[in-house]
A and B are shown apart, each in its own frame.
Chain A
Amino acid sequence: DVKVTQSSRYLVKRTGEKVFLECVQDMDHENMFWYRQDPGLGLRLIYFSYDVKMKEKGDIPEGYSVSREKKERFSLILESASTNQTSMYLCASSLWGQGVREKLFFGSGTQLSVL
């Protein structure tokens, strides 16, 4: 079975802390994505990556960075966490190419609370 694993289901951090959210996929997918999900706003794309060491900004990259050192792992980094980054974070992956790239496989999410 296809699997996208996010390291934590719930996380509580303090304002100003550096936060790492980890995501691993076991499907050898080229594409990986980080979204945040907020009530009334739906899913918003933060960053995505089409290959190892490659990253592109999504719609709301401010306050975040990412790292993709290996194909299976895509990390989201909050350099200095703020209360407005309290949210559900969803990682996803997909294969490269038309006809397949739109089928995203999602992890179960990490609910981050910044106090």
Chain B
Amino acid sequence: GNSVTQMEGPVTLSEEAFLTINCTYTATGYPSLFWYVQYPGEGLQLLLKATKADDKGSNKGFEATYRKETTSFHLEKGSVQVSDSAVYFCALIGSTQGGSEKLVFGKGMKLTVNP
């Protein structure tokens, strides 16, 4: 079945540091890939997505590129802020028709950014 493996952390960085969170996946066909973020005390929300190979998703200074050759979707940000402290989840959904397939999440990685 489909699965996602991501860095689990926790990770602590200083403000303005570079961030990379690794995510690799296993899936048949051509899945769509996502990063969700959960800020303290809140539910998850969609951060960015990519639906085909070589697509780059971006939002709020974060970027991730869908790499089919390495089955990866690593999340990056050039300069993190304290407000980026959150738990980050990589996820995928399969490529079946009809909308019946469900999201599969990684285990999440907690990021703390210190001033």
Interface string of A18-46 (1 = CB under 8 A from B): 00000000000000010000001111010
> Given A40-B8, A43-B89, do A109 and B49 touch, yes or no (CB 8 Å)?
no
The number of A-B residue pairs with CB atoms under 8 Å apart is 56
Contact A90 B93 (CB under 8 A): no
Category for how many chain B residues contact A: 20 to 34
Residue of B nearest to A97 (CB): B99
Category for how many chain A residues contact B: 20 to 34
Give bound CA distance, A100 to B103, whole Å: 12
Contact A42 B43 (CB under 8 A): no
Residue of A nearest to B46 (CB): A103
Contact A48 B108 (CB under 8 A): no
Contact A104 B41 (CB under 8 A): no
Contact A101 B44 (CB under 8 A): no
Give bound CA distance, A90 to B87, whole Å: 14
Binding site for A on B (CB under 8 A): 8, 32, 34, 36, 41-46, 49, 51, 89, 91, 93, 97-103, 105-108
Binding site for B on A (CB under 8 A): 4, 33, 40-43, 45, 48, 50, 58, 90, 92, 96-109
Q: A42-B108, A48-B102 are in contact. List 6 more A-B contacts (CB 8 A).
A: A41-B107, A42-B89, A58-B102, A96-B99, A104-B36, A108-B43
